[in-house]
Each structure stands twice: as C-alpha cells, then as structure tokens.
Structure 1
Amino acid sequence: MHRLEESASSQSQSSVQIGYIGGGSRGWAHTLINDVLQCDDLAGTVSLYDVDYEAAEQNAKLANALTSRSDANGAWTFEARRNVNDALADADFVICSIQDPVDETFVHDIDVPQEYGIYQTVADTVGPGGVLRSLRAIPQYREIAATVREQCPDAWVINYTNPMTVCTRTLYEEYPDINAIGLCHEVFETQRLLADIAERYVDDAADVTADEIDVNVKGINHFTWADEAHWHGHDLFQYLERELEERKPIPGFDPGELDDESYWTNHHQIAFDLYDRFGLLGAAGDRHLAEFVPWYLDIDEPEEIQRWGIRLTPSSARTDDGEGPAKMDQYLSGDAAFEFTESGEKVVDIMRALEGLEPIKTHVNHPNRGQTPDLPTGAVVETNAVITGGGVAPITAGDLPREVRSMVLTAVHNQETLIDAGFAGDLDLAFQAFLNEPLVTVHRDAARELFAELVDRERDYLQDYDLEGAAVLEG
C-alpha cells in the first residue's frame, strides 16, 4: 500500500455497516476480525453470513469477546445472520470470501485432470480447475450482485474469492451499476521481492519494506506483470539483469529436491524466466504464473515441476485437517489466546479511504476503463488505483508487449466466454473455453471426457446449467 497525503478528517471516527459473505470461515473472516479490531477510526457492525450458520455464530462470539481486550482499539459489534438479505441490508461495505466444500469440488478439480496427465499447481483460476470453479462461482456471484442491488445498491463490494477475475466480472455483468473491486495479495509478494533487491543493489538501502516499493502492474489477476519499479527515486528494474544472472541457472533445482519444503514454496524462478524471455517481471507467485502458459507444467511426473522451485499442491493439502475448528475451540474456551497481528491485507485501509479518512494507492481488480488500453474494455484487469472518498480511480498502466498481450488475451477471452456460458447455463459454450485453456493439451476426445467427468462429479454444484441438454455430456 502507498499512502498519500493524510486527510484532516482522519482523526474522526466513521460508523459503517459491513456485510460479510463467507463469515463462517477460519481464514479471511479471522483476518477481518484481526484488522478491524486494530482500527480506531472506523466503528460499527459486522454482519457475518455463511451457509454454515453455526460457524458464523462462533466467529461472532469470538470477535465480540475480543472487543473487550485492551489491545483491541476498534468499537465494533459482530452479529451472525441466517439470511443473506439481513446481512447485507443497508451495508456500506460487502466483503466476499466463499468456498464450496473442498472434498466435493476442489479435490476433483485437482485429482481428476491428473488422471489425464494434466497437472496444476493451484487449480483455482485457469486450467481445468479454474474453469470448473468459475462455473460454480458465476451463479453464486449473480445472486450476491442481485442481493446488493436490492439491499445496499450503493455499497462497495470487496471480493477475495477466486477465480478473482470471473467473480468480480460476474458482479458487474449482473448489476452494471455496482461498486466492486477484487483484492489479491500476490503483487505484495513481488513488492517484497523488489524490496530485497533494493537492499542488495542500492547503496545505503537497509530495512526496505514492501510498502516502499512503487511498482507499475498490468494484466489480469494471477497473470500480472510489472514493467517499472522504484524505491525512493531509484529505478529497480536496472538491477534485474544482475539479479537474473545471480539466480541462473534457471530452472535451478532437481526433481525431488523440494520434497521437504512447503507446498506453497516460491523461489521466483518462473517470474525471472518470464522476465528473461519477455522483458517484464511476472508479478504473481510462480505457482499461479505457471498455469497460464503450456510449458512449465508439461511434465510426466509431479516431482518434475520442482525444477522451477515450486511444488504441486495435492488435494490433501486443500482438505480441512481439523486445525481450524480445534483452534476455535481453544479460543472460545480460553485455552489459547487469539493473537493480533499485522496481516498485510488492505481491506481496512481501503474502507478507510472510501470513507474519506486517508487516500491510498494500491493494486485492485476492476473493469477496464482504459487503464490497460490494449485489453478489452469491460474485462476485469489488475492495475494500480487511487482510492479516496470519491471512489476508485484506476491508474493507466500502459500497453503490454505483443507476445505477453497475446498470452493474457487468451485468458481474458476464456474468462469472458465462461461469463457468457454461466449466464446462459450453457455447458457446450463453457467447453469451448475449456478446450482453449493452455493446460488442456490432451486430445479433443480426452478433453471432452475430462470435462464431462468433472461436471458429473460436481453436478450438485452446477444445477444452474442445462445438464440434460448439453451435447458435450452425451459423448
């Protein structure tokens, strides 16, 4: 985040109503609780809605208990709501972070394509997994947008759910006058990488933080690119060639070498390989970048991806291991203390900015209004924006190099096709996007079988589609 001049009104307190869809989570919901309770110039009510009401109720109970702690600065009340209309009624802000049952959806998105020789490092944005997750999300986000239109038409909607681009784009397609942005933390990791580079190559640079790095980003979520980066007037791109030479050979690991590392490990090898090939730095984590192109994941065995300094994320890493509920029980019983931390997320800063307290500059996902002139108008793109009490003003990021633009456009056109398919309930149209995914490198008939198998396994979550009339499911 880049702070601009501080407003004189920043010392006052604004009262806001937040509706949280996905309020039963142990992840983003706890992050929001952590962040709002450390904010002393916003106050109000957070209405937590979740299809699992009991989980939302537990989060409300935990959060209300935390408000009495001396290190909780915010004056907030938390309420669990059984009905989404009640949660969003007259809301100033709507936050979305939802997830279908992993063992009934996400596990299939990862495991089934592997049976066809298609490997994915994340499976939530593009590739077979991204397509299926999009198809599940579009009806859900149409409902969210319709509820916002009815209950809080002027609210700002802040989306954290993947696939970020498709979810945010659906909100605007259903309710064109909506105020919505998508937030992702991937670029922050790139800013931390560039902060390290500043410390190594700029004389007298020490203790450089990610917030101090001003980076120009462009593209779409998880396939974002940086072509400029500065730290206090120092051009950091001039050091990338030296950094590239230091990191060579790329790829620089052996298959199996990372078996003991985290599934989420990232050595920025793909980001720098893309820089080496195209002159722009990949500004998302390598696990995401790898899925937008056909060559990094062209492997025969899972261990081969480790050559690039990353690991495949198995479905077992996505299922609930019980730690979340166990921790919640400990929090509520008093056996463990909820620790307030610096989360690094910007949602509270963005709400403060939109309330007119303190403007900021940060990256957001927002419909293209010219900030990326060479990408389609209306497509959701990721660039910097200035956020004030007057709203969100995306900053022109400039054009992409031709070959990079070609790769990005493939993803954009697939996402737009999925939006059309989702609104029409047309799985045959969705299959066209599926076939055009760079990771779907199998024979057309095998691709059809894979698509049909994924739909069959997840059909309970695809009831808004014409399952009976889809030719692609008939064989």
Structure 2
Amino acid sequence: MKVTLIGAGSREFAGTIIRDLLLSGPIAEKGLDIVLMDIAAGPLAEMEEYARSVIGQLGHAATVSSTTDLDTAVTGADFVVTAIEVNRYHYWSQDFTVPRKYGFRQVYGENGGPGGLFHALRQFGPLLEIARAIERLAPDALFINFSNPEHKVCEAITRLTNVKVVGLCHGYFQGARQVSALLERPLDELDLAAAGINHFTWFQRIRDRATGEDLYPELREREHAANWVSDWHEVGLSRILFRRFGLWPSPSANHIGEYLSWADDYVPAQLQYFHDPADGSPWREGAETPEWYYEIRFADTDRPYQPAKHAQKSLQDALADRPLVSSEELAIPIIEWVACGVERDLPAVNVPNRGAIPGLPDDMVVEVAATVEDGRLVPVPVEPLPEAVFAMVRLQGSIHKLLVEAYAEESKAKLLQAVLLDPVVDNHNRAVAMVDELLELQKDILPPLH
C-alpha cells in the first residue's frame, strides 16, 4: 500500500503522520510504502532520515523514499495525505491585519472572516494542482487533507475535480475535552456527536456511554455554576453560545469567533501580529513578520527585553524526545477502515453533506461523523440543527460556494459578494478598499481576478 505525504518537510505534520502510520498493525500487515514529497529539499531529506530511524526502532518492514516531484509522489498512490502552506505567517499577518485596519473586527483571520477568504484563495491553486495530479495518476486514491481553511479547500476540490477528498482537523477533540472537563467525567465514558462546519461544530448528543443518560441537563447546571474566569480564553465565548443557542460549540473562542460578527468582545487580539505602523509596513522587504499567538494567554510577556537568539534545533534533536505513540488524528483510522476493513470511530470528517445535515445543500462540505461503505466514506445523518445555528452554518455555505466560483471564474465580483456576506463586514466601500489592498499585497500568490 502506497501512502504519499505532501508537505512532508513539516516537522509537526509529517512527524505525526509517519509515527501514526508505522504504529498501525493493520497497515503493517498490508505492507507499507511511504513516499514523502515537499518542494523544500533540505527539510524533506531530514524527514526521510527521521522516518528511517523510526522504521529501525520499530523493526518495521515499511519502505520510505522522498521526492520533490509531485507526479512521482502521486503516481499509483492509494492514499495522499497533505498539509501545505506558503509562507504561512507572513500572509496570515496580512489576512488578520488588513481587514481590521478597515474596521472589520475579525478575531483570527485564518478560516473565517475576510482573512479566511484570502487564505483560501491562496490555497486553492496548490491543492487543486495536487488533486488534478491524483485525477491523472492515482484516480482511485483517497485525498486526505489537513490544509486550512479546511471546509473551503475541500469544497473547491469536490466542486472542481472528481477526486475523493476528506478534510481532517482535531477541533472536535478539543470541544470533547471541554465537555469532559465541565462534567468532570472521563472522555471515554461520554457518547458524543457533533455537526456543523470545520471550526464551527455543535454537539447534538452528550450522553453517558454506559447508560445512555442525556447529560445536557447536567452540563447546563455545571456551566452556570462554573467560575467565569476559568479557561476563559478558550471557552468564554463557547459558554455564551451554549446559553443562547442550547448546544455546546467547538473548538474554541478564536476559531468559533471567526463566524460571528460580535466575537471581538471574547477574543482579545491586541497582541496578535502586533506592530508599530509608524515603523513602516511589517511586510516590506527585510522586515520581520509580527508574532502570532494561538491565544493571547500564550504571549510570553515575561520575556527579557533583548532575548537571546538560539539556533533552530536539528530535526533529529527536535523529534528525539517525541514518544512513539499514536496521535488522535483520524488519517490512520480512515486508512485502516478503507484499506484494511478495520472499523474505527470517525467522529469528525469534512465531506460533502449528501443529506447528513437536513436542509443544507448536498454539495456543501460539512463536518460530521462518518462510516465506510464499500471502501468509501459516508457521512452519518444527524438531527436537524436548531434554527439559529442552522442559519449561521447555512450562510457560510453560500460564502464558500461564491468563493469557489470566484476562483473558477476568475471573478472579482463573486469575491466581493462573498466578502459582503461575511458577518463581520458592515460597510460596502471599506470592503471594496480592503479587497483591493489585499489583492495588491498578495498579487504574486493569488489567482487572477478581474
């Protein structure tokens, strides 16, 4: 079985998937050929060396090779696993900063909001290039995508190619751990089901796995009694949404808030990509990209004024202390079920709706649980979402569709329509100016739009 990893120069992504692949018994029984692909030859060679070291430690029979050529990597693959970005934080800092400059209070700018739209437009080209290579050279392969913005890029691939694609993210597990913590019950004792779109899912079922008891009444009592400050940066917004709309959302404030017009009160952003504009553009040649934080609480404000500079660790040193244990990522469970027939729990995958969430378009990419039938992923049908939640999710479906059409038709008009539908955008003229500035800033990497 040939499994290709694209973006394999990434220490975090490739290291995790390599360990997960090599720790799978069912996959080992099938025989495993790992092909690593990246356009950066140096990190790619390091990752091949790491894969060989793990194979040696485990006494595994797998083979591994690497290449910088996409066609070579994809040809004959059974599974293609991808996580790619181009100059991630440089462009993300623009996605975050420019809309806020025009008064649009987006809170993160990665997957939703105006910044998420431009992020997606940059990602469409490279990911569609991979998908079209799969169409030509491995038409039966399953494309497993970890690249953000997950729902938008998967929708582009499903609408514009015939490739079988599934998007994966561990956001569901973050929300599940929050529920477990509030209930003070071990996660493996909970029966959970969530539905929505990536980074904006809602738990429709929270039950005791053993007895079937509905635990939502207990969750409401515990949430109302909980201290407001506890874990506020992660769940403060989730608690308000839970109180207003009746379901617990996932994964965390910074991600959920990307789809709301009023989330700015719950996601402090003062230090996110902070810079002094009087010093000049932070994106001028030679300038250092301002710093990013997953949440503001992780900003190291106790650091020295002049911190010492340390050389980056080698790959072997960086990964040496990583234990050889499986992660919670769902790529390998999917491969085990599709290729090996071993049933696994797949609580959150991004696939076309196909009736899973009532009322949403069949071709809209949603995040729901899935099973495998005849070697294909099939979304598990869920109960209708509450009207208010449904309305928020449905709006994003329209935005995604318009964005894919903007890319396919090279249409600036369709892009503007998508931007003007976004909940944080409240002014037409400023929206037009923002789009023009981002199109100019990122013209070397964006698709042509007329």
1:79 maps to what in 2?
A: 65
- Deviation per CA, 1:93-142: give whole Å up to 9, x if none: 01110011125411211222232233443311111210101111122222
Mean CA deviation greater in 391-400 or 159-168:
391-400
Kindly report the root-mean-square deviation, in angstroms, between the aligned alpha carbons of the 2 structures.
2.5
Is it true that 1:275 corresponds to 2:242 in the alignment? Answer: yes
Partner of 1:45: 33
Alignment partners' CA distance in 2, 1:160 and 1:398: 27
Cα shift readout 1:384-420 (whole Å, capped 9, x = no counterpart): 1113663212111121111211111111100110010
Match of 1:316 among 288, 291, 310: 291
Tell me whether 1:365 sits opposite 2:350 in the alignment.
yes
**Counterpart contact for 1:125–1:131, Cα < 8 Å:** yes
2:167 match: 182
CA deviation after TM superposition for structure 1 residue 329, in Å: 5.6
SS in 1 for 2:436: helix
Please state how far the C-alpha of 1:465 moved relative to its aligned partner: 1.4
CA deviation map 1:224-256 (0-9, x unaligned): 11121123223221212202211365xx58xxx
Q: 1:305 to 1:337 in 2, by over 3 A?
A: closer
Instruction: Identify which of 180, 185, 192 aligns with 1:195.
Output: 180
User: Does the alignment pair 1:225 with 2:208?
Assistant: no
| Residues 23 and 326 in structure 2, CA contact (< 8 A), matched pair in contact too | no
Residue of 146, 149, 156 corresponding to 1:163 = 149
- State the partner residue of 2:140: 154
Query: Distance between the aligned counterparts of 1:183 and 1:368, measured in 2?
Result: 15
Query: Residue 377 of structure 2 is aligned with which of 364, 388, 392?
Result: 392
Instruction: Give the TM-score of the pair, scaled to structure 1.
Output: 0.81
Q: Secondary structure of the equivalent of 2:72? A: helix
Whole-Å separation in 1 of the counterparts to 2:309 and 2:402: 38
Q: Indicate if the aligned counterparts of 1:67 and 1:76 stay in contact, CA closer than 8 A.
A: yes
- Aligned partner of 2:255 in structure 1 is 288
Count residues in correspondence.
415
Distance, in Å, in 1 between the alignment partners of 2:237 and 2:314 is 35
Matched with 1:305 is 267
Asked whether the equivalents of residues 105 and 261 of structure 2 are also in contact (C-alpha less than 8 Å), the reply is no
Q: How does 1:112-261 map to 2 (within 5 A)?
A: 112-176=98-162, 178-199=163-184, 208-209=186-187, 211-232=188-209, 233-247=212-226, 249=228, 252=229
Give the AA of the match of 1:234: E
Equivalent of 1:339, from 319, 323, 331? 323
Are the counterparts in 2 of residues 290 and 296 from structure 1 also a CA contact under 8 Å?
yes
* Alpha-carbon distance between aligned partners in 2 of 1:245 and 1:215, rounded to the nearest angstrom: 21
Letter in 2 for 1:275: F
User: Is 2:141–2:164's contact at 8 Å kept on the other side of the alignment?
Assistant: yes
User: C-alpha offsets along residues 63-113 of structure 1, whole Å, 9 cap, x if unaligned?
Assistant: 1122111xx364322211121111011101011100111254112112222
Native 8 Å contact 1:37 1:73 kept in 2: no
Q: 233-242 vs 24-33, which deviates more? A: 233-242
Measure how far apart 1:311 and its partner are. 8.2
AA aligned opposite 1:374:
G
Equivalence map 1:411-430=2 (5 Å): 411-430=396-415
Corresponding residue for residue 445 of structure 1: 429
Cα distance, 1:68–1:388 mapped onto 2, change above 3 Å: farther
Q: Secondary structure at the match of 1:75?
A: coil
2:394 is matched with 409
Please point out which of 452, 465, 472 is paired with 2:448: 465
Give deviations 1:332-358, integer Å, cap 9, x for gaps. 9xxx55432442212111111111342
Distance 1:369 1:444 in 2: 34
Instruction: Give the deviation of 1:180 after TM superposition.
Output: 1.5
When residues 280 and 79 of structure 1 are mapped into structure 2, their CA distance, relative to the original with a 3 A threshold, is same
* Superposition deviation, residue 268 in structure 1: 1.4
* Partner Cα separation in structure 1 for residue 332 and residue 73 of structure 2: 19
Q: Which range moved further: 131-140 or 381-390?
A: 381-390
**1:18 to 2:3 alignment:** yes
52-61 vs 154-163, which moves further: 52-61
Match of 1:57 in 2: 45
Alpha-carbon distance in 2 for matches of 1:323, 1:346: 35
Are 1:456 and 2:440 an aligned pair? yes
> What is the CA-CA distance between 1:175 and the residue it aligns to?
1.9
In structure 1, the residue matched to 2:75 is 89
Q: Which residue of 2 aligns with 1:4?
A: none
The aligned residue for residue 13 of structure 1 is none
| Rounded Cα–Cα distance in structure 2 between residues aligned with 1:324 and 1:139 | 33
- In the other structure, the counterpart of 1:5 is none
Cα distance in 1 for partners of 2:270, 2:367 equals 26
Where does residue 328 of structure 1 map in the other structure? 315
Residue type of the alignment partner of 2:398: H
CA distance in 1, matches of 2:132, 2:179: 41
- Counterpart CA distance in 1 for 2:126 and 2:189 is 37
SS of 2:404's partner is helix
Matched position secondary structure for 1:218: strand
* 1:8 equivalent in structure 2: none
Unpaired stretches in structure 2, ≥5 consecutive residues: 274-289, 295-307
**Distance (whole Å) between structure 1 residues aligned to residue 384 and residue 94 of structure 2:** 37
Distance 2:344 2:356 in 1: 17
Q: Share of identical aligned residues, percent? A: 27
